[in-house]
Chain A
Amino acid sequence: MLLINCPYCEEERPELEFRGAGEAHIARPTNLADISDDDFEKFFFIKDNDKGVVFERWRHIHGCGRFFNAARHSVSDKFIMTYKAGVAKPKLTKAQIDAVKPPAKGTPANEPVWTIEEGKK
């Protein structure tokens, strides 16, 4: 169970109090009614779902009720930061990302037998 820092409550609370709400920083177009099918597809259906650093939305549903954003590593599950909704997507430093990376593959011990080719994307 993760501990999540709610940027509104300003404290770490257990994951049970939160609910994930999908990818962050997808703005609803102000002219939504007029956009093309392709643009609507990109806006509504296509999600990055990266292996690595992800920006995602959470809601402190059993707490303050606020939606907020987080930068997290999807392999190590570690949070880099959480920040209030509406704050611009933060530029992460290499040090911040390195700090949450899973350990490098020194030995295949406990590695799954399937591996995703590095640099495929």
Chain B
Amino acid sequence: MTITTPNTGTNRVARKGRLSPSKTVTFTFDGKQLNAMHGDTLASALIANGIHLAGRSFKYHRPRGILGSGAEEPNALMDIARDKIRTQPNVRATTQEVFDGLIAKTQNYYPSITFDVGGINNVLAPFFSAGFYYKTFMWPKQAWKKLYEPVIREAAGLGHAPKEADPDRYANRFAHCDVMIVGGGAAGLMAAKTAAKAGKKVIICDENPEFGGWLLAEGEASIDGIPAAEWAAKTVADLVAMANVKLLSRTTAFGYYAQNMVTLAERITDHLALPDADAPRERLWQVRAKNVILATGAIERHLVFADNDRPGIMLSSAARMYLNHYGVAVGQNVGVYTACDSAWHAALELQEAGVKVVAIIDMRSNPDEQLIARAKALGIPVRTGSAVTKTSGKLRVKSMTVEPIGDHLTEKFEIDALIMSGGWTPSVHLFSQSRGKLKFDEPNGRFIPDIHVEQCVSIGSCNGTNEIDAALAEAISASNAVTGKKAGKAPKTMGFASMEGHLIGSAKGAGPDDHVMAFIDYQNDVCAKDVRLAVREGMHSIEHVKRYTTTGMATDQGKMSNMHGLAIAAEALGKEIPAVGLTTFRSPYTPVTFGTIVNHAKGDLFDVTRRTPMHGWAEDQGAVFEDVGNWKRAWYFPKAGEDMHAAVSRECKTTREVAGIFDASTLGKIEVVGPDAVKFMELMYTNPWEKLKVGMCRYGIMCREDGFVYDDGVVGRLAEDRFHVTTTTGGAPRVLIMMEDYLQTEFPDWKVSLTSTSEQWAVIGVQGPKAREIISSLVEDIDLSADAMPHMAIREGKICGVPTRLMRVSFTGELGFEINVPADYGQSVWEAIWDIGSPMGMVPYGTEAMHVMRAEKGFIIVGQDTDGTVTPYDAAVGWAVGKKKTDFVGIRGLKRPDLIAEGRRQLVGLRTKNSKVVLEEGAQIVVDPNQPIPMKMIGFVTSSYWSETLGHSIAMALVENGFNLKGETLYVPMPNETIAVEVCDPIFYDKEGARLNV
């Protein structure tokens, strides 16, 4: 019996690559089972299996292949699934590592990738010019909503979002370091080694699974006498052994923000067949670094020529990476088209590895003679000063047609792959994100870092330093600049490929004809002709060209296309490239999952939930809760068979007839203490406070300086120098902020202290005719009799043996108490009261009944009956403004001409003519319902309820000149009817307050 290793692809090249044939994995590609080697990316595994066709393009549905070998990939976007729930669209096949059981699907076609009806768009391509949508779907206007938009939306977009909620967990970490190094290629590793040896705390990250960057693509090159990739591995091993170094692979630095904050996305489980169930899928790092070293490398550009997008046409750097790292040949008959030395090295290495290189076509008339000599020695045909003007092959490139530049003699080569190089674009994304300024390096056709704004330095090829020795020297001096030492010596290097030569813009054969499909942006299907058209149609700024053509706006953010787009636009404009300018680089560098950004802040952890001490009791009683800010408040307490309406009616009725118990703990509470406390209260509230007696409460109104109502609440004076201030539930934080602001910045000499006590006191409201009777047996040290403790009194004593601040106040209009007890005793005191009150007929009531009862009494709710444009006078609480006061916040604002003008919206009551009709809150009010539309609206309904007690509906409204309209009939036009209402006083119940003073 012989053991055979699974076939991981016919394009594997013997003795090439660093993956081990003994470790294989199986994955599914468009339903077909394939084998790969452990360490393969999806792209390398597919190419090994002879598959280049990786998807259909976005706009024209053209068949597309794998173009690159890393994060720059614009074409090979796939849907990657681990199971039924865990799927992710638009994953670059070049960065997705293959694992056992991975399910990959190509995207953007129907019904199959080889036959796609959307391909009709390619036939119709002449009509899909830049700005096509703007121009075409303009008329008829009505068709947009019903016809164009739904169809376009259905056809638009790449991939399909997963349907299920993300089951994975995402982690977050903050880190600080002396040196953050972005990029683990030759320069990054050298810098890390130098800084780490000097004892600096170093974090180095690289987006790939393995450190080394383009060193991994080198075949013959060596550093310090060992192969370049081995040097990288050895350097990493040295760094791992050092306690002051943190290495993060599979980690993309995607954002660079002010004061050297760099954000990293670390992918933890996406490459594993069986991830630890407890492991997070990804981790967000927020690194604050004293120094940042950018060693982000460079990305090879494609060439812009006719039909440069057929599957099998790819970057020369990718061909080298696939050959030297993965041991995979990109084809068997490879054409080479270049303006840069890099592709020559790829060609030489492929030929040496036994792959037939059909011809090297170089646009330059005088490429390096040594390269020509080496190519010729290997028997590779060379055409200099020539261009590829045409390619053929539908689902895979079949031939290339070559012409000398300035001539029309054509020559045709049969090929199954075409590798190309337009030179290298420095990855200045992060440098630019940090607001660093770039300069245009004219001789090399590239933008490189110029003036840095953050404490950072760019080294290696991202700085335009392509030559390896210079890059390593740069790395050492960058680290020495950080450490202040003069350490390190650049290691000896040998056999590195030259990166000389470039072309930006379109090559021969890419136009100026309007029908040539010479792509500059593969992902958004933008051709050279589109940029020219945009310029002809008046887009003269690169920012406009970008938006009109969508070049550089896809998920790859134009990593390969931006320079081409810019150069073609500059040519069309007749301007120099620097005069046209680059578009702005934005984070993220590569797409980041929502999970990583959202992180823990989802589900229960999305926001804090505040619960009162008595929350559990209300839950046990079957209360329905409503959200009020972060609070959960008992809304109503339905009994079996009751709907909300029935429950609220019962709660109101019983409270008015017997008693009700209410959880008011969410009220904001602020303790205002100090010799100047009363002076401070005079300032903050419109009311006068000097004469408020100790032991008494007052309803206070707080305005902003502009005179509009900001908050309200009952304030009790516990001592000459101590006030128990209550605020609205939602207003507590902002009231305290405003108080602190005035105290700290306007009156810092006043002796006052402010303490938030909102969560220290549980507040139990007991309201109703039997309130006193219910609590009396529990209260010690306080005389509850009407004479000793009148309405609006506050006393300190004990209830159930617990200290209490007992306030006789009423938001219902009934005899009532608000019992403040330390929060920890809230529920036990509540239960003690319940045990006495319940047999007497007391009910618990929720916020809805509270709202109804306060509206029956005409009490306003700030934020519901006021909206930030309402003065105390407008809200019919002008009596709370101290007329004799010389100062308070809002005193001047209240005198502004518009605020004292006639005809302001004023708070009034409304009675519907049909008393059963309950108005809708927010409904608009008009004088004449028969006037033409648009009608003049003179106000709106702010509060509206059914009052079971009164047997009719009640409402409050802000109405222009409302105080003078009492008794008048107004109208509320609704979709189905017009409701007649009568303006009335907002106090509907017990106007004289007889029920309070008992």
- Listed in ascending order, the chain A residues whose CB lies under 8 Å from chain B are 1-3, 14, 21, 27-28, 32-33, 35, 37, 40, 44, 57, 59, 61, 65-67, 76-78, 85-86, 102-104, 106-113
A45 and B927 CA atoms in complex are apart in Å by 34
Smallest CB–CB gap between B748 and chain A, Å? Answer: 6
Determine whether the beta carbon of B578 is less than 8 Å from that of A108: yes
Q: List 7 A-B contacts (CB under 8 A).
A: A32-B891, A67-B741, A86-B745, A102-B435, A108-B580, A109-B447, A109-B581
Determine whether the beta carbon of B893 is less than 8 Å from that of A44: yes
Nearest-neighbor residue (CB-CB) of B579 within chain A: A108
- Given A37-B896, A57-B745, A102-B453, verify A107-B543 contact (CB < 8 Å): no
Smallest CB–CB gap between B262 and chain A, Å? Answer: 11
Determine whether the beta carbon of B439 is less than 8 Å from that of A109: yes
A107 and B449 CA atoms in complex are apart in Å by 11
Write the B684-727 contact mask toward A (1 if CB under 8 angstroms, else 0).
00000000000000000000011000000000000000000000
- Given A35-B892, A40-B896, verify A107-B450 contact (CB < 8 Å): yes
Task: Point out the residue from A33, A67, A76, A106 that lies within 8 Å of B892, measured CB to CB.
Answer: A33
Give the size range of B's interface with the partner: 35 or more
Nearest-neighbor residue (CB-CB) of A41 within chain B: B896
A55 and B737 CA atoms in complex are apart in Å by 20
Within 8 A of A (CB), among B556-592: 578-585
A37 surroundings in chain B (CB, below 8 A): 896-897
Q: Does B444 contact A (CB under 8 A)?
A: no
B259 surroundings in chain A (CB, below 8 A): 1-3
- Given A2-B258, A33-B886, verify A113-B541 contact (CB < 8 Å): yes
Determine whether the beta carbon of B453 is less than 8 Å from that of A110: no
Determine whether the beta carbon of A76 is less than 8 Å from that of B581: no
Q: Does B231 contact A (CB under 8 A)?
A: no
Determine whether the beta carbon of A110 is less than 8 Å from that of B439: no
Within 8 A of A (CB), among B492-549: 541-544
Determine whether the beta carbon of B745 is less than 8 Å from that of A110: no
Q: Does B482 contact A (CB under 8 A)?
A: no
A66 and B437 CA atoms in complex are apart in Å by 37
Task: Point out the residue from B439, B748, B892 that lies within 8 Å of A107, measured CB to CB.
Answer: B439
Write the B888-900 contact mask toward A (1 if CB under 8 angstroms, else 0).
0001110111000
Nearest-neighbor residue (CB-CB) of B736 within chain A: A65
Q: Does B261 contact A (CB under 8 A)?
A: yes
- Listed in ascending order, the chain B residues whose CB lies under 8 Å from chain A are 257-259, 261, 286, 288, 432, 435-440, 447, 450-451, 453, 541-544, 578-585, 705-706, 737, 740-741, 744-746, 748, 886-887, 891-893, 895-897
Task: Point out the residue from B440, B541, B740, B746 that lies within 8 Å of A109, measured CB to CB.
Answer: B440
10 closest Cβ pairs, A-B complex? A108-B581, A103-B451, A109-B438, A113-B541, A109-B582, A113-B543, A33-B891, A67-B744, A3-B259, A103-B437
Determine whether the beta carbon of B578 is less than 8 Å from that of A110: no
Nearest-neighbor residue (CB-CB) of A30 within chain B: B887
A113 and B582 CA atoms in complex are apart in Å by 10
Smallest CB–CB gap between A26 and chain B, Å? Answer: 10
A76 and B892 CA atoms in complex are apart in Å by 37
A26 and B258 CA atoms in complex are apart in Å by 28
Nearest-neighbor residue (CB-CB) of A75 within chain B: B435
A106 surroundings in chain B (CB, below 8 A): 437, 439, 450-451
Determine whether the beta carbon of A1 is less than 8 Å from that of B451: no
Classify the secondary structure of A's interface with B. Answer: loop
Smallest CB–CB gap between B25 and chain A, Å? Answer: 41
B584 surroundings in chain A (CB, below 8 A): 110, 112
Given A37-B896, A85-B744; 12 other pairs, CB 8 A cutoff: A1-B258, A14-B288, A32-B891, A33-B887, A59-B737, A67-B741, A85-B745, A85-B748, A103-B453, A106-B437, A106-B451, A109-B432
A77 surroundings in chain B (CB, below 8 A): 258
A103 and B584 CA atoms in complex are apart in Å by 16
Nearest-neighbor residue (CB-CB) of B451 within chain A: A103
Determine whether the beta carbon of B544 is less than 8 Å from that of A40: no
Smallest CB–CB gap between B601 and chain A, Å? Answer: 13
A110 surroundings in chain B (CB, below 8 A): 432, 437-438, 581-585
B582 surroundings in chain A (CB, below 8 A): 109-110
B432 surroundings in chain A (CB, below 8 A): 109-110
Determine whether the beta carbon of A1 is less than 8 Å from that of B257: yes
A33 surroundings in chain B (CB, below 8 A): 886-887, 891-892, 895
A21 and B744 CA atoms in complex are apart in Å by 13
Determine whether the beta carbon of A65 is less than 8 Å from that of B740: yes
Determine whether the beta carbon of A40 is less than 8 Å from that of B578: no
- Identify which of A28, A66, A112 gathers the most chain B CB atoms within 10 Å of its CB: A28
Nearest-neighbor residue (CB-CB) of A35 within chain B: B892
Smallest CB–CB gap between B908 and chain A, Å? Answer: 29
Determine whether the beta carbon of B578 is less than 8 Å from that of A107: yes
A21 and B745 CA atoms in complex are apart in Å by 11
A103 surroundings in chain B (CB, below 8 A): 435-437, 451, 453
Determine whether the beta carbon of A76 is less than 8 Å from that of B435: yes
Determine whether the beta carbon of A107 is less than 8 Å from that of B437: yes
Determine whether the beta carbon of B261 is less than 8 Å from that of A1: yes
Task: Point out the residue from A32, A85, A102 that lies within 8 Å of B887, measured CB to CB.
Answer: A32
B450 surroundings in chain A (CB, below 8 A): 106-107
- Given A1-B261, A32-B887, A106-B450, verify A21-B581 contact (CB < 8 Å): no
Smallest CB–CB gap between B80 and chain A, Å? Answer: 32
Determine whether the beta carbon of B886 is less than 8 Å from that of A107: no
- Given A3-B288, A107-B438, verify A40-B892 contact (CB < 8 Å): yes
B580 surroundings in chain A (CB, below 8 A): 108
Smallest CB–CB gap between B257 and chain A, Å? Answer: 6
Determine whether the beta carbon of A44 is less than 8 Å from that of B453: no
A3 and B745 CA atoms in complex are apart in Å by 23
A2 surroundings in chain B (CB, below 8 A): 258-259
Smallest CB–CB gap between A100 and chain B, Å? Answer: 10
Smallest CB–CB gap between A78 and chain B, Å? Answer: 8
B897 surroundings in chain A (CB, below 8 A): 37
A65 surroundings in chain B (CB, below 8 A): 740
A59 and B743 CA atoms in complex are apart in Å by 13
- Given A102-B453, A103-B453, A109-B440, verify A67-B258 contact (CB < 8 Å): no
B744 surroundings in chain A (CB, below 8 A): 66-67, 85
A40 surroundings in chain B (CB, below 8 A): 892-893, 896
Nearest-neighbor residue (CB-CB) of A29 within chain B: B892
A67 and B435 CA atoms in complex are apart in Å by 30
Smallest CB–CB gap between B287 and chain A, Å? Answer: 11
A77 and B584 CA atoms in complex are apart in Å by 18
A32 and B101 CA atoms in complex are apart in Å by 74
Smallest CB–CB gap between A2 and chain B, Å? Answer: 5
Nearest-neighbor residue (CB-CB) of B747 within chain A: A28
Nearest-neighbor residue (CB-CB) of A4 within chain B: B259
Nearest-neighbor residue (CB-CB) of B585 within chain A: A110
- Identify which of A35, A77, A107, A109 gathers the most chain B CB atoms within 10 Å of its CB: A109
A3 and B705 CA atoms in complex are apart in Å by 31
Smallest CB–CB gap between A6 and chain B, Å? Answer: 13
A32 surroundings in chain B (CB, below 8 A): 887, 891-892
A112 and B546 CA atoms in complex are apart in Å by 13
A85 surroundings in chain B (CB, below 8 A): 744-745, 748
B887 surroundings in chain A (CB, below 8 A): 32-33
Smallest CB–CB gap between A23 and chain B, Å? Answer: 12
A76 surroundings in chain B (CB, below 8 A): 435, 453
Nearest-neighbor residue (CB-CB) of A65 within chain B: B740
A21 surroundings in chain B (CB, below 8 A): 741
A23 and B737 CA atoms in complex are apart in Å by 16
Determine whether the beta carbon of A28 is less than 8 Å from that of B891: no
Nearest-neighbor residue (CB-CB) of B705 within chain A: A44
Smallest CB–CB gap between B705 and chain A, Å? Answer: 6
Smallest CB–CB gap between A101 and chain B, Å? Answer: 10
Smallest CB–CB gap between A86 and chain B, Å? Answer: 6
Determine whether the beta carbon of A28 is less than 8 Å from that of B706: no
A113 and B288 CA atoms in complex are apart in Å by 31
Nearest-neighbor residue (CB-CB) of B706 within chain A: A44
Smallest CB–CB gap between A27 and chain B, Å? Answer: 8
A66 and B705 CA atoms in complex are apart in Å by 21
B579 surroundings in chain A (CB, below 8 A): 108
- Identify which of B432, B447, B705 gathers the most chain A CB atoms within 10 Å of its CB: B705
